[in-house]
Amino acid sequence: SKVRIYTLARDLGVDNNKMLEILDGLGVSYKSVSSTIEEDTVELIKQILEEEAAAGTAAPADSAPVQASAPQAAPTQPETQAASAPQPQAAATATAEREPVAASAPAAPSAPELPHRAPVVTIMGHVDHGKTSLLDYIRKTKVAAKEAGGITQHVGAFEARTSKGKVVFIDTPGHEAFTTIRARGANVADIAIIVIAADDSLMPQTREAIAHAQAAKVPMIVAINKIDLPQADPERVKTDLTQLNLVPEEYGGDLIVVPVSARTGEGVEDLLEYISLTAELEDLRADPKGEFSGVIIESRVDRQAGVLATVMVQEGTLRVGDFLVVGENYGKIKAMTDSNGGRIKEAGPSTPVQVLGFSEAPASGEKVFSAKNEHAARELIAQRVSDRRDAEAARTQRRRTLEEMMGPIGETRTVNLILRADTQGSLEAIQGILAKKETEDVKLNVLLSGIGSPTEGDVLLASTADATILCFSVTASGGVKKVADTKGIEIKTFRIIYELIDEVDRLIKGNLEPVF
Ligand code: GDP
């Protein structure tokens, strides 16, 4: 019978990437690690692994298994390995030449690389589809109960312990947090979970969440929630997703879709497993010994304690006493707590920590760096202030170059759009016309199309993806306009479809014709 790739990998005790390598070697096609493979293939894989293992034990004890260090001995050519095994001298030499590789485990040909880090996951989706409930369920079941009976403070992220290792969740659900962080140029999330209620299917904010994840190129996993409800219709959700060109695996695509219930907990274990699986394929790594860098998740001012900022460590290790620089401010870490409220002295990659020591609350999404001492921190800030002034001066002086206006010569150019309209009907009409506008040279990329007025989230998406917002029969509120102004994003409103289309034509031409 057929077996899923990741199940086989788990049963045979090799990692998923290794399994995919073997399949590639065999010329077996697959969509993802949850694709199934034939029994014959399974037998072949077992043989290959056995032969590799045999070749490994035949090699000198102090050298790495032959197959890990000798690239020409591909997993698909067990004969080659068998041939090299009886020549311990040659094998040893080959190993010595690739010194860093020799330290690796048989299944990881990438020993000199950095250690793995835990994935950081964000949960997005439509209001009331169960984002908060899902986070609560995971927190309740996967976070070690806090010692000493204190109330765990909400710090913007928490660490869940799963059978596959640590998974870090950003616990401000919704794409606003995600996009605010990204709008500052930082990327915190490695994986986006899109929650869709099984009784409601795709809703406007679901599409927005998907657009945001796609714009950030963050891999998505869909959690179909509320499957405990009698009116739940997960199949409809899958069909609706297909309409967005997101094809679930069971329909032959590569989108992982997991049915869950945040109420009963059904499927949550599977969801966590898929997160770990995706993380493994993403091959997330960071250097705990490297230079520190991180991102502010959120911050607040506590009446007694002062400024409390949650920092996500991305590289290096943060220690109490370190000087941190955020924007043009700095602070010395007086104390640190983990997301569980426990005092800690140091924190490595993929760890959210709450630090005490800033004098001003830093904004979420700001990048954090460290400095050796106060003097170095001040110097770094002085440098930044002068860089900023230079950049400002340059911006006012600079004339736009041809290439800036046209994009690189000879490449297909893309016009990014966000569409907002009053009804589904007008949206579809507009999209229908736009679909015919694409040419070989210019691609129209509608990042998001939605019903109703443009939101602040749209503006942030537009600013990170360099898009124009076009509205039909809806207008932006004053607040949204203000944000758009400060970010330099254009929001244009039209009452007649063909005027909107004319504008798109202008954008296309603007991208095509050199302007002198
Ligand atoms: P959010 O707005 O996406 O964060 O949604 P919430 O987590 O606040 O959930 C909205 C409502 O749906 C609440 O009344 C929840 O109790 C309910 N809910 C969430 N998940 C489930 C579920 O799996 N099954 C059922 N039956 N109700 C759920």
- Contact assessment for residue 370 and residue 291, using Cβ atoms and an 8 Å cutoff: yes
The most distant pair of C-alpha atoms in the chain lies apart, rounded to whole Å, by 80
> Who lines ligand 1 at CB under 6 A?
125, 127-133, 173, 225-226, 228-229, 261-263
Rounded distance between C-alpha atoms, residue 352 and residue 152, angstroms: 14
CA distances from 414 to 182, 217, 440 (A): 21, 16, 10
pLDDT computed for residue 96 by the predictor: 38
pLDDT computed for residue 82 by the predictor: 40
For the chain, give the number of residues. 516
Determine which residue's CA is closest to atom 24 belonging to ligand 1.
226
- Contact assessment for residue 478 and residue 486, using Cβ atoms and an 8 Å cutoff: no
pLDDT computed for residue 14 by the predictor: 86
Rounded distance between C-alpha atoms, residue 158 and residue 154, angstroms: 9
CA distances from 131 to 134, 172, 253, 429 (A): 5, 9, 25, 33
Determine which residue's CA is closest to atom 10 belonging to ligand 1.
128
Rounded distance between C-alpha atoms, residue 311 and residue 353, angstroms: 5
158 DSSP β-pair partners: 169
Determine which residue's CA is closest to atom 11 belonging to ligand 1.
128
CA 142 to centroid of ligand 1, rounded, Å: 19
Ordered DSSP codes for 284-324 = -B--TTS--EEEEEEEEEETTTEEEEEEEEEES-EETT-EE
Determine which residue's CA is closest to atom 9 belonging to ligand 1.
130
* Index of the ligand 1 atom closest to the CA of residue 135: 7
- Enumerate residue ranges in the chain where pLDDT < 70: 56-112, 144-153, 173-177, 183-185, 394-411, 511-516
SS3 253: coil
Q: For residue 406, how far is the Cα from the chain centroid?
A: 30
CA 197 to centroid of ligand 1, rounded, Å: 8
Tokens for 470, please give them: 């076009």
* Index of the ligand 1 atom closest to the CA of residue 129: 3
pLDDT computed for residue 469 by the predictor: 95
pTM: 0.66
Instruction: Identify the CA nearest to 187 among candidates 161, 160, 156, 215.
Output: 215
pLDDT computed for residue 516 by the predictor: 44
SS3 128: coil
SS3 61: coil
pLDDT computed for residue 174 by the predictor: 64
Taking each helix axis as running N to C, give the angle between helix 456-465 and helix 175-183, from 0 to 180 degrees, rounded to the nearest 10. 40
Determine which residue's CA is closest to atom 14 belonging to ligand 1.
128
Kindly give the residue spans of alpha helices, DSSP state H, lying in 159-284. Answer: 175-183, 204-215, 234-243, 268-282
Best probe residue, ligand 1, of 128, 203, 228 (max atoms within 8 Å of C-beta): 128
